[in-house]
Amino acid sequence: MPERTYTVAVIAGDGIGPELVESALTVLDAVTSTTPFALRTVAVDGGAGTYQREGAALSDAGLAAVRSADATLKGPVGLPHVRMPDGTEAGLLGGILRNGLDLYANVRPVTLLPGVESRLRVEPGAIDYVIVRENTEGLYASRGKGVGNERAMADTLLVTRAGCERIVRHAFDLALRRSGAPADGVRRVTCVDKANVLRSMYFFRSVFLEVAEEYPGVEAECRYVDAMAQALVMEPEHFDVVVTESMFGDILSDLGGGTVGGVALCPGGNIGDARAYFEPIHGSAPTLAGQDRANPLSQILAAAMMLDHLGEPAAGDLIRGSVRTALASGAIRLRRDGTAEGGTRAVTDAVVGALGS
């Protein structure tokens, strides 16, 4: 009998979501067959398909199931043609889960793995940073709250001192657990903003610099978001932990994904003080759905992040090590567009086959 059992809510999602989640669950089953803990999964319906059937992307019962679980594993959600009356996508769960559960830290690792060819002239290990994106404030706090008419529309960018302080502390605490930037081994947190133009961003930077004084062992620096977009291409090895407002983090994490083989290799965690869910950072890619073509590595790596959060980092490391082994050995081969040769099931089998090797 397992020594401990964790309840995991599972949202399969839309498009390629169900295939990716099935892949991650297969890997998790293989891992937990040899560990002193077990996972009890609870299926939760959510996404664009749910909206079409029920008129809401997530039911009250579904939210309650997520709230009561130890963690949630979520596949990509949303379909481009399923829209709210205001024109925005109807199947997205970010506003429901992130704000509803106060999951203020969106943590997105960007890592160049062995066996993956970057569009940059860098070797594996040269890109290894984490973007910590504020998840409940910023411009996306205006989700569903924009005001205007047929002549003009406005969305408001909001940041608060409490929100800035907690996301910045999360970034510095993460830096303390890491080994520093690849270029020089320095533990470093980079604040990304537009403080030269927007008062809200100057406020974000000011709070960042105040909190930084509490962490004398971590270097603190600031960059404007436009300059940062260039720096993530020109000198990615300089960065360790990056902290920023929600929309800036959303854009920069996709840019970072483009330097490490594509966003199909990038997982993300949405983490609060009491709850968390884990997912790929990419969308549901409906044109690939049902064809056994989607690359499931982002979902598998999201499952590894979930295990870390549950307090089982050795199991998370086992999954990450298996992914690295399968890529380095050529058991998994990626095309330049980020899809995998052999398809979803072949990648899953390769990761399972590399467990413990």
Alpha helices in 16-78 (DSSP H): 17-32, 48-54, 60-68
The C-alpha atoms of residue 94 and residue 308 are separated, in whole angstroms, by 22
Q: Which residues are catalytic?
A: 140, 194, 226, 250, 254
Quote the CA–CA distance of 70 and 68 in Å, as a whole number. Answer: 7
User: Rounded distance, CA 226 to CA 240, Å?
Assistant: 18
CB of 257 closer than 8 Å to CB of 208: no
Sequence letter at residue 165:
E
Token duo for residue 348: 């899953």
| Residues 6+ positions from 287 with CB-CB distance below 8 Å | none
Residue with tokens 């080994």: 179
Closest CA to 322 of 19, 26, 16: 26
Buried b (16+ CB within 10 A) or exposed e, 125-140: ebbbbbbbbbbbbbbb
Q: Considering only CA atoms, which of 297, 17, 243 is closest in space to residue 134?
A: 243
* Helix (H) / strand (E) containing 17: helix 17-32
Q: Output the CA–CA distances (angstroms, integers) from residue 47 to 42, 78, 90, 131, in the order listed.
A: 16, 6, 8, 25
- Among 177, 194, 191, 188, which residue's Cα sits nearest to residue 238? 188
CA 160 – CA 170 distance, rounded (Å)? 16
3-state secondary structure of 205: helix
Find tokens 């537009």 and name the residue: 194
Classify residue 320 as exposed, middle or buried by CB count within 10 Å of its CB (0-12, 13-18, 19+).
buried
